[in-house]
Amino acid sequence: MDDLLTEPPRPASPAGEARFFAALNEAQRRAVEALDGPVLVLAGAGTGKTRVLTTRLAHILATRRAFPGEVLAVTFTNKAAREMRERLDAMIGGTANGVWLGTFHAIAARILRRHAE
């Protein structure tokens, strides 16, 4: 098994990137491709914010901008965390396992367990 903290994901193929971007509109694609610094996505319910965030995470990992263990994605609900994990798994497979993705409470509990004395 690969060590997710030391082995970067393989770069995405052009076909793979086309698959990532196929479901995005132009504004969403710009948000996904903006890799220098933070991006603020403001939109109403059902407009694709989760799709943009998940695709951006997949793009960052596929282009080797970050290792999976360097990525933190925080959601408000367990349902949203599961949905994001499933989408990320579908896009990039096992590489997604190393991403810190969950609710505030789940991530805090993980940190506390890891550093408990």
pLDDT the model gives residue 62? 87
Indicate whether 57 belongs to any domain: yes
The rounded mean pLDDT for the chain is 84
Let me know: does 96 contact 85? Beta carbons within 8 Å: yes
Distances (CA, A) of 32 to 79, 110, 112: 23, 28, 32
Confidence at residue 18, expressed as pLDDT on a 0 to 100 scale: 62
Domain that holds residue 45: 14-114
Count: domains in the chain: 1
| pLDDT score recorded for residue 15 | 52
CB distance 88 to 36 below 8 Å: no
Whole-number Å distance between alpha carbons of 36 and 99:
19
Residue 83 located in a structural domain: yes
Report the C-alpha gap between 90 and 34 in whole angstroms: 22
Q: Which CATH number fits the domain that encloses residue 64?
A: 3.40.50.300
Residue 30 pLDDT: 93
Looking at the chain, the whole-number percentage of residues with pLDDT higher than 90 is 47
Task: Quick: pLDDT tens for 32-83.
Answer: 999 888 888 898 988 988 899 999 999 999 888 899 999 999 988 999 899 9
Q: Is residue 7 in some structural domain?
A: no
